[in-house]
Copies of this chain bind each other. A is one copy, B any other.
Amino acid sequence: MIELTPHLDSERRLPLYEQLYEYIKGEMVKGHLQTGEALPSIRVLAKHLRISRNTVEAAYAQLVAEGYVESRPRKGFIIKEFDKDVWMKLEPPFVIPLSVSPVSRYRYDFRYGHIDTAHFPLRAWRACLNEAMDASREELLWYGERQGERKLRQQIARYLFQARGIHCSDEQVIIGAGIHQITGLLCQLFSPEKNKIAMENPSYDGIRAVFINHRYQVLPISLEQDGLHIAELEQSDATVAYVTPSHQLPLGMVLPIGKRQKLLKWAETRNAFLIEDDYDSEFRYEGKPIPALKALDTQDRVIYIGTFSKVLTPAIRVCYMVLPKQLLSSFYQMFSSYHQPVATVVQKALALFMEKGYLERHIRKMRTVYAKKRQTLIHAIYDHFGEHATIIGEKAGLHLLVHFHHVMDADRLVKEAKGRGIHIYSVAKYWFDSQTSPPPYILLGFGSMTEQEMIEAIQLLKDIVQATRK
């Protein structure tokens, strides 16, 4: 029996089974292992090298698959005759320095987009997921409906009607796997002459990337105190505009009804489309509710986009859009061979979750939770900074912006804070042109922070801001 004692290094990027495979192949090429010899049994080698049997099995299976070794009943793994020339030297796998971890490295993290997980109704969600698994095998295991499960689309239509005043049929609702995927569909859907898209400046960099990656020309439109500069839009030659009327991202203003009507008028006159990203509409803390742009859309010009990322969890990766009726036939035509991107079981579970009223209950609860967090954060800022800080964009959503007076270099402040274990965010990336320096606002997302953490972090931030001002 051959003894194999490779140096296997679990710190290397190359998995252990691959290291073992490479070692055995190397020994064969060098002539240390000869045709007809038997490799140690999986059990013996695993024990000898103190690695799992799976690892040895994987290495052996590959040697068998590539014809270097043969598995013979009761004889084990026998080395076959082979031609040394076919040995192909492969480079070691490439090492990428990048690795995204969902867990923050900072003691306090004001990340935008993170939600409160403590109050998530995990039991109810799990029950829905399990109930969804009770569907028939065909329903669970075949491709589902292309535009999404009908039951989920019906629930969404009902929800939009109640929560946002939007009248739509479930036939207009398209389920998607996150806003980047669904906006990608829109980029394919627009006719080639609609190649100029207006966006608020600043605006969501993630969506801007989608448009640019699809080779659209993106036109920045400035913001006024109360949102989009309509006259500037009118002067542009855009034929599509992407807007965030319920809570401008990142500045946070709510677009007043008058401007909404002007926007709709613009779309009608120009034969243009409006993409309404209603991402933060469920959490409003002040002021009267304003109907969604889509609710006022008598001319069928608004593409409405909503998501479950904020109201439930981003981890289920479900969003949706409501298409104008005039776009539906092109949609069906262009995507007749595409499949629905969201797993059937997730869609079914979500439909049940909505049908049983869990979603509405959760949103009601979270409104209180987030309102309290927001209040605590605002109080903490005023307690420590008094008149030396200005808060904006706090009327809705899960983040606000703060300007610490006399702090002109937001990047430096962010860096100093990181050094003290606090992750706060510059808003620079939301602007189109990174040359023109954006106002030195700091973005604070309060979704995932506890009230105690926010109080502690703002207290610490006071010293850091004072040091930065000097």
Given A113-B143, A342-B343: A95 in contact with B158 (beta carbons within 8 A): no
1/0 contact trace for A25-69 toward B, CB 8 Å?
A: 000000000000000000000000000001000100110011000
Taking the closest CB of chain B, its distance from the CB of A431, in whole angstroms, is 14
Question: A17's contact among B18, B96, B161, B342, by CB below 8 Å, is which?
Answer: B161
Indicate if A438 sits at the interface (CB-CB under 8 A).
no
A101 within 8 Å of B by Cβ? Answer: yes
Q: Choose among B101, B120, B157 the residue that contacts A137 (Cβ–Cβ < 8 A).
A: B120
Are B169 and A102 within 8 A (Cβ)?
A: no
Least CB distance from A408 to B in Å reads 27
Interfacial residues of chain A within 155-214, with CB under 8 A of chain B in the complex: 157-158, 161-163, 165, 167-169, 171-172, 177-181, 184, 188, 192, 205-206, 209-210, 213-214
Known: A113-B143, A161-B17. Contact between A209 and B337, CB under 8 A?
Answer: yes
The number of times this chain is found in the oligomer is: 2
Beta-carbon contact of A117 and B90 below 8 Å: no
Asked if B137 and A338 sit within 8 Å, CB to CB, the answer is no
Say yes or no: B137 contacts A209, CB within 8 Å: no
Q: Cβ of A460 < 8 Å from any Cβ of B?
A: no
A439 on the B face (CB < 8 A): no
Q: Is A141 an interface residue (CB 8 A)?
A: yes
Which of A221-229, A314-322, A394-402 is the interface stretch? A314-322
- Distance of A315 Cα from B325 Cα, bound (Å): 28
Q: How far is B324's CA from A96's CA once the two chains are assembled, in angstroms?
A: 12
Closest to A324 in B: B94
Count A-side interface residues using an 8 Å CB cutoff. 103
How far apart are the CA atoms of A206 and B339 in the complex, in Å?
A: 9
* Cross-interface CB contact of A158 among B15, B165, B171, B213, cutoff 8 Å: B15
**Distance A340 CA – B100 CA, assembled complex (angstroms):** 11
Please determine whether B177 and A18 come into contact, CB atoms closer than 8 angstroms: no
Q: Is the CB of B342 within 8 A of A317?
A: yes
A180 to chain B, nearest CB (A): 4
Out of B144, B171, B309, B341, name the residue touching A93 (CB < 8 Å): B171
CA distance A90 to B294 in the complex (A): 12
Structural contact, A138 and B102, CB atoms closer than 8 A: yes
B141 touches A313 (CB 8 A): yes
- A18 with B93, Cβ < 8 A, contacts A332-B98, A341-B181 known: no
List, in ascending order, chain B residues with CB within 8 A of A142's CB. Answer: 102, 114-115, 117, 313-315, 448
A residues adjacent to B (C-beta < 8 A)? 13-15, 17-18, 21, 54, 58, 61-62, 65-66, 88, 90, 93-96, 98-103, 113-115, 117-118, 120, 122, 126, 129-130, 133, 137-147, 150, 154, 157-158, 161-163, 165, 167-169, 171-172, 177-181, 184, 188, 192, 205-206, 209-210, 213-215, 289, 291, 296, 298, 309, 313-318, 325, 328, 332, 334-346, 357, 448
A-B contacts besides A94-B171, A120-B141, 15 pairs, CB < 8 Å: A17-B158, A58-B162, A62-B161, A93-B167, A96-B169, A102-B145, A142-B315, A177-B317, A178-B340, A179-B339, A188-B214, A213-B335, A214-B214, A341-B341, A346-B346
Q: 7 nearest interchain CB pairs?
A: A93-B169, A177-B341, A206-B337, A188-B213, A94-B325, A117-B137, A315-B344
User: Can you pick out 24 interface pairs between chain A and chain B where the beta carbons lie within 8 Å of each other?
Assistant: A58-B161, A93-B169, A94-B171, A99-B150, A100-B145, A113-B143, A114-B142, A118-B137, A122-B137, A129-B345, A140-B315, A141-B313, A142-B314, A143-B315, A177-B342, A178-B339, A178-B340, A179-B339, A180-B337, A205-B337, A206-B337, A209-B335, A314-B339, A343-B346
